[in-house]
Structure 1
């Protein structure tokens, strides 16, 4: 029985019962969850960190941009690293690096040493890219083996982890646990989880220079087409060549818009509600919680829409929902109407990110380089959005400043056709 994945690529649903695929799926869900947990856990302690370091809010914000710079630098090389050394090696190196990075951050806070703190933030930013690319790659390959859209489920796990991280941070703060102890506990727990799950989570990713019979490129009624990993030299060249592929760069624009939408809500939504409607801080937090719930629910339930209507149609509908939601949130005269905009915005932001990752992973052999390229657009969004929106918010107010994200959503709509699944004949051999 043949099924279609993402609106056009055939795949066999029978592979979903493969125990290797099943273990990879659950292990990756765990990795996404702890990946989502890390940053909100320690960012929730920023007031204490600012006080311990003796910084102003502006100085602390500038230090946090160091992490985004580290991520942007690292994401450009992650595809080459994964292609040459493997996804497992990337996750192990990043996990070890995170232990070092959080130790530096913890020591910097304990000693009120700003350069030490900044060094830890830089290391953690770079390590985040080395986790992001291989787990997204692994999730995309699991989706291909299952034969139906499930990548949004992994991103839902990330959202659940982010909510859990905020709760963990609140619990440590309420218990008067020091920031240093908090960071070290979280770092050890996250590292232990990653070390335990990395082997099954990366079982489907081609190993450098070895055959990868578990990676299925396409399945028809009669046979399964199996790809083999190419020699390291050719695959490394392919990872670098991804930067010159128009389709990959345009998919990166989709991820840029998705990251701006989701990230801006994380940074500015609560503040926009508080200042825009003269509301209490708790109301702003509840507004952002509504956004996260809407996004998470739609990530869990929206996969059926992708299977039925295809990636392109769902991405376009998501873009329209985001634009309408942002417009309603930014222009509505009352908080009640604005709240409806928050729900529409959250639903629209849910599926664009996983759709872009899935599209970049259509060809398993070229996926590491392509996923690395498109995720670099996400890092650009993280780096550029805070200062740009901050400047606009000073003149227009946070609620109106968020309307500029609509321009990115229009760009995403314009290039949505690029996420259409690649046919086997359009996949170029490695040289």
Structure 2
């Protein structure tokens, strides 16, 4: 990648990445907002819909695990744009197969394609985000993740509007695809080519497949992955269960349950929006520890509050605490330019697994002890993440060199 970028080019690059982070959030929310209509068109049960939605998870995990190899050979821009294009094809297929053809198997495949595009784009845009941080010499990744949240909010609002005015699922999702493709075509030219591309880069020695796989054995990568696992679990559990646990645990109305989730998303988005400035001032370790403490306070208030007003206050602390863990962990994974795609990909995969596996596990535990008490598992995960915060400390040159030598040794052995 050309390092001699002007300030104007860096600014354009940064703006482009904000839009690219927002797009996957927009498309996911567009799909989620129409799941009731798709379920009704298919005549599927809740259990059947669970199996159909699994297609997206499978596609996403395949995309996440393969993204680092694609980025190393083609660069971040190519993989981001390819991922968004595949995402568009998948979303269009979801609209057609879910309501026009009403074919469950084809919908499963469409969701797998949709998830794969999201998976490879997710890693590439986070790799690109860490690259922008280094060139701009500012902490930006939390702001990029705030853009994802804003995209999700816009997609949800658009979906709600489409349902209210009676726009059919295929037309709604086709409009969402058009927005995705036109935006992608516009921002493509603002992103420098070759970010994290190792093949042919004389400044960063290329890693072979064994070396990239050996990154999963690195102590620091494992510890950062555990931090992200705990904080992503805190975020994912709220996304899936917060309205229901408020309704069941505190006997509030469904409207109040939805409001509670809105409070969580608002707190998390606002914290991410200012997170970059806080990181520049206090550093990763302090922010991660403060995030863990905030999430712990919030979870304790929600679990043991005995009053929905106290629980709402707890939700604010929970949202603030869950905001920065994932992006800060990814930023830490991107410290070493050699193998950046592999490390960011590994940490992204761990975080995504927490989003996918954590909430169902919480549901199984909640079936026996109740959802509020089940949150104790999330509490423990956040405590562990907070205790390991030191692992995210920025790498020095000597540490990077030692990591490089260790990766070489592990790949040989």
TM-score by length of 2: 0.92
What's the CA shift string for 1:206-264, capped at 9, x where partnerless?
A: 444344xxxxxxxxxxxxxxx82334xx3554432322212112111111112111111
How far is 1:132 from its partner? 0.5
Does 2:100 correspond to 1:121? no
Does the 8 Å contact 2:28/2:152 carry over to 1? yes
Match of 1:365, SS state, is coil
Does the 8 Å contact 1:83/1:239 carry over to 2? no
Does the 8 Å contact 2:146/2:273 carry over to 1? yes
User: What does residue range 31-430 of structure 1 map to in structure 2 within 5 Å?
Assistant: 31-109=20-98, 110-203=100-193, 205-211=195-201, 228-231=203-206, 234=207, 236-428=209-401, 429=404
Does the 8 Å contact 2:87/2:116 carry over to 1? no
Query: What CA distance in whole angstroms lies between the structure 1 residues aligned with 2:232 and 2:245?
Result: 18
How far is 1:384 from its partner? 1.1
TM-score by length of 1: 0.88
What's the CA shift string for 1:389-414, capped at 9, x where partnerless?
A: 22122223323322321121122123
Most deviating of 386-395 and 327-336: 386-395
Most deviating of 330-339 and 139-148: 139-148
Q: Deviating runs (4+, > 4 A) in structure 1? A: none
Does the 8 Å contact 2:94/2:110 carry over to 1? yes
When the two chains are superposed, the root-mean-square deviation of aligned CA atoms in Å is 1.9
Q: Specify which structure has the higher proportion of helix.
A: 2
Most deviating of 399-408 and 280-289: 399-408
What's the CA shift string for 1:302-359, capped at 9, x where partnerless?
A: 3333222211111011111111101111211111100110000001011111110110
Match of 1:23, SS state, is helix
User: Which position in structure 1 is the counterpart of 2:411?
Assistant: none
Query: What CA distance in whole angstroms lies between the structure 1 residues aligned with 2:162 and 2:371?
Result: 30
Query: What CA distance in whole angstroms lies between the structure 2 residues aligned with 1:368 and 1:336?
Result: 44
Query: What CA distance in whole angstroms lies between the structure 2 residues aligned with 1:351 and 1:176?
Result: 38
Does the 8 Å contact 1:80/1:240 carry over to 2? no
Most deviating of 379-388 and 261-270: 379-388
Match of 1:200, SS state, is coil
Unaligned runs of 5+ in 2: 409-413
